[in-house]
């Protein structure tokens, strides 16, 4: 009987662990990092994979906040987030992917990207953060970066 229970529990655990490609956190975790001269830091919770749940994640350049996950002026909330540093050491680009899980049309499995020049901190995309029309999807991000389908591949990995 013990063997059957162990097998059932192990099988359930294995099925659950196979469903997630990342790791599950027991508590909030602080993090920090750099992409060129831009720094990123904050806290994350829940699950770390190709995206995470942000808690006041901030992008800084020259001591000034240039992006905050909790910014209420954006058209959409940041319920899930990913951060990638793309480009070269000489021309790094910070790519922040956001999505929300609400039933609003802007949500629903759509990822919107914010791209920053890693040296100057300038926001390269989107041009308008206050309307859905101004947001930048994966195709837009690839066009801004000139990287082929790199961001589209990152976006597809977020939903596996």
Distance of alpha carbon 38 from alpha carbon 40, whole angstroms: 7
Identify which has the larger pLDDT, 26 or 54: 54
The residue range of the domain holding 84 is 23-158
Q: Is residue 2 part of a domain?
A: no
Residue 153 contacts residue 160 (beta carbons within 8 Å): no
Q: Is residue 109 part of a domain?
A: yes
- Structural domain includes residue 113: yes
Please tell me the least confidently modeled range out of 12-21, 45-54, 121-130, 145-154.
12-21
What the block records as the tokens of 118 is: 């890693």
> Considering the domain boundaries, does residue 80 fall inside one?
yes
Round to whole Å and give the CA distance between 54 and 38: 18
Residue in this structure with the two tokens 């655990």, named with its chain if needed: 13
pLDDT in tens, 55-109: 999 999 999 999 999 988 777 788 889 999 999 999 999 999 998 877 778 887 7
Residue 5 has pLDDT above 60, yes or no: no
Number of domains in the chain: 1
Helix, strand, coil % (nearest 5) of the chain? Answer: 20, 35, 40
* 76 in any annotated domain: yes
Q: Calculate what percentage of the chain has a pLDDT beyond 70.
A: 86
């Amino acid at each position: 009987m013990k063997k059957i229970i162990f097998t059932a529990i192990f099988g359930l655990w294995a099925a659950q662990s196979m469903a997630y490609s990342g790791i599950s956190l027991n508590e909030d975790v602080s993090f920090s990092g750099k992409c060129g001269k831009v720094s990123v830091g904050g806290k994350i919770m829940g699950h770390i994979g190709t995206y995470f749940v942000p808690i006041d994640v901030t992008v800084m350049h020259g001591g000034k906040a240039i992006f905050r996950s909790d910014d209420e002026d954006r058209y959409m909330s940041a319920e899930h987030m990913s951060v990638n540093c793309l480009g070269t050491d000489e021309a790094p680009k910070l790519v922040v992917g956001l999505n929300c899980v609400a039933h609003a049309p802007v949500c629903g499995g759509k990822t919107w990207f914010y791209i920053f020049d890693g040296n100057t901190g300038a926001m390269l995309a989107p041009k308008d953060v206050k309307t859905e029309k101004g947001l930048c999807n994966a195709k837009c991000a690839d066009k801004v970066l000139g990287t082929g389908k790199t961001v589209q591949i990152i976006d597809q990995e977020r939903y596996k």
